[in-house]
Structure 1
């Protein structure tokens, strides 16, 4: 493959810069808004005239107007997302292993069903799920969100992990069994360590999906007992009915985005390696 000419390199550089500006401009705008005073929100300037941490104090300080609403929602988001991710990864690992290694009737049907569930409109099942959860007592509870979150995280987890397990040589497991290992021991000690990059990548993707959900969070909760952060942001209010909570919402958005950005930056090599390994058939 021939090297790029100087003009081509410049062209690709310009395209890269434009894409980065397009992608990062909304983020920069939210960060700048989070440091603005309420009186500066409608001035039309991009950067705040006076940098202030008032919005962060309102959601984090003990005396903040939105502190109780935000911190309780943050705890709910962390707990629910971690539990949903852990359950999804464990179930998906077992299901993907069976799909990749075993021949049984209906294997393609399972994968097709998982794909259909992942693309099914969430909003279409919220109303019946709302009525069902109210009837059986799961409304406004952690399990009432964890179970629906599995419908979001399990399909993509199964598809991703099935691709990883197909790349692992079947002979390694057979060799472990020849050496006296049981099927479970061969799976746990020979297969799972080799699939660790894929499991880790899948866990991050599943966590991000659960972390960012809004529809289930706003529809299946009514109090701070289980309401996650994306839903809680809709209940932020200003100091008065005439004041917009835009600054507080922007500050909360920055706070909940920072952990995700840190995770991606810390584990970007594992994520890229995992996605690449699962996408290329050896």
Structure 2
């Protein structure tokens, strides 16, 4: 009789009912014929530490982390990756064989991988970027752009203090611009990124004039509901190359799946279609 346990993984947060991660990881497990399960688990902040100490004893090899625990898990983790430390949050936890809890952030990896797979010859090094937003997603995107050699990253956030905090964290290549003046800088950038929830289904629209946007600028939105936001539609009408946000979700899941289930999965059109059903 085999003593090998079936590896378990999941996503923890509150809420988690809306998460696409169970469908995503389930698709890969079936595609590659791997033993394993991926389970959504609502976890309150008060239970976080207890849950993370208990899961490995139940056969869990790792979990994804979503709101509101992405910062708090860094206080609990034994080992923190450089990128998780730089971003200040984690979305991927691995319960190591030595008993230690490893925390990583793959959001920036997912963001860059999505652009490089979708946009021919795109590189952050091709010119300045403008990032709309100053939250956790913006922090991951800014870190990834700098790692991919962006010469300058402009940040515009409705609350100026949050943009200033990113400038203080990431340093000289960050330029903070006023939210109301973002449209005036569009002609200067090679990459435009919306990391806010503006334009998402059920949220306010992103009110940004694209009159100064050049055709050579790549425009991407990390929102994927709807898949084609008004920002992307307007940028396409101006002749810009656009990239939707679904690919970031798919690519950020790759490192965790590989660590937990031992197979590096592919991100392809069949996977996108499966998640859009």
TM-score range, shorter chain: under 0.3
TM-score (norm 1): 0.24
Give the strand-richer structure, 1 or 2.
2
TM-score (norm 2): 0.24
